[in-house]
Amino acid sequence: MAALLIVEDEAIVALDLAAQIQDLGHKVLGIADNAEDAIRLAREKQPDLVLMDVVIKGPRDGVEAAQVIQRDLAIPVVFLTAYSDTLTVDRLTQVGPFGYLTKPFLGRDLKAAIQLASFKGQAEAHLREAHHWLASALGSVTDGIIAIDPDGRVRFVNAAAEQIIGWLNDDAEGRPLSQVLQLKEALEPGPERTIATLVDRDGASRRIEVSRAPIASSAGPALGTMVMLRALGND
């Protein structure tokens, strides 16, 4: 059973939708008819899913409300709309919704949309939890760790590596490794440990130990490379 929030500005339509949801075995936590109330109720009630009409009361429409709810609260949104023109669909897809239904829709379509969105929402929540756990675990490691993708761009820098290279994770993410890890000597290929001279972000030099290991994937090529750093002292 999922707990849902309905955002619909036509009272009769909202009540009918609530009855359909309850007939499907789900729970309705509340009904809102404008963006402000939708965001407030989503924050207070923490529903599993929001069914969001695109055209609602007030200065902000359902698309704007959905952006806030998904970005700030990580709650899945399924849009309900009477429009399927290119402009409307483009606006909806920019939000990254968990689905949308074109009015009028059948009960089986509503059932399928709720099931799919709930499943996708749970899967993404598990991924966020796993990512947070991994980041916390790597953050507690005393050696510096930089994770890069197959293109050589930084995806994660732990706290110890931030101290060594002088780059914060948020600043380094997405940059080429060579930009955030500036070494005077070229690294030899392979996983062997290498002693090199690092020039940090402030221009200071220090000797560090560098080693690398692939981030393995069970489904094919490596997902990237883990670069391990250990400070040895200053020049």
pLDDT in tens, 119-138: 887 777 777 777 777 777 77
120 plus 14 within the same structural domain: yes
186 plus 228 within the same structural domain: yes
Ranked by mean pLDDT, the top range of 52-61, 77-86, 109-118 is 52-61
Tell me the pTM.
Answer: 0.59
Domain range enclosing 104: 3-135
79 plus 181 within the same structural domain: no
pLDDT in tens, 138-178: 767 788 999 999 999 999 999 999 999 999 999 999 999 99
Peptide linkage before 104 cis (omega within 30 of 0): yes
Coil, helix or strand at residue 175: coil
170 plus 83 within the same structural domain: no
- Number of structural domains in the chain: 2
94 plus 188 within the same structural domain: no
CATH of the domain at 164: 3.30.450.20
CATH of the domain at 40: 3.40.50.2300
110 plus 87 within the same structural domain: yes
119 plus 150 within the same structural domain: no
pLDDT in tens, 23-64: 999 999 999 999 999 999 999 999 999 999 998 999 999 999
CA distance 219 to 203: 41
Q: Are residues 18 and 7 in contact, defined by beta-carbon separation less than 8 angstroms?
A: no
48 plus 87 within the same structural domain: yes
150 plus 215 within the same structural domain: yes
103 plus 185 within the same structural domain: no
117 plus 156 within the same structural domain: no
CA distance 41 to 7: 10
CA distance 19 to 97: 23
CA distance 6 to 80: 10
122 plus 156 within the same structural domain: no
- Average pLDDT (196-210) is 89
Intra-chain end-to-end CA distance of the chain, in Å: 63
